[in-house]
Amino acid sequence: MRTCTKSFIAVMLVAAGHFCVPGAGWAQTPSPNFQTPSPNVATPNIPEQKLDAAAAAAESVMRLKQNFTEQMAKAAPADRERIADDTKRALTNAITDQGLSIEEYTSILEVAQNDDTVRERILRRLQPPNKN
């Protein structure tokens, strides 16, 4: 069960990242501080506070994505553009309220997709606290 949950979170993390990139009209250029590693490059040094912020933003983005999907399924065609615009604004705020630019958030998620260590560091932040 735990593996299934981790896989689901990983998939949602990736989906969250893709939800707020090119199709939404945001910049695609990664921040120079967070380059996507090539296979021969060591794990990038992303500060813990940036990982905390990215994880918090990803949780908000996942909730917004779910809400967006539900709203669009129920919406009249005339309301869909407004819903998309509202969601885009909410997504931007969910990320920037955590102190990240859209480019930083996207870059961190791209690194996490390609680097198991960074992905695990973010996933640990997404895990619910252990109940004793």
Tell me, yes or no, whether 36 lies in a domain: no
Tell me, yes or no, whether 131 lies in a domain: no
Tell me, yes or no, whether 32 lies in a domain: no
Q: Could you tell me the CA-to-CA distances from 66 to 23, 32, 61 in Å, in that order? A: 17, 31, 9
pLDDT tens digits for 55-87?
Answer: 999 999 999 999 999 999 999 999 999 999 999
Tell me, yes or no, whether 112 lies in a domain: yes
pLDDT tens digits for 13-64?
Answer: 554 544 444 333 333 334 444 444 444 445 578 999 999 999 999 999 999 9
Tell me, yes or no, whether 34 lies in a domain: no
Domain count, the chain: 1
pTM for this structure?
A: 0.67
Tell me, yes or no, whether 40 lies in a domain: no
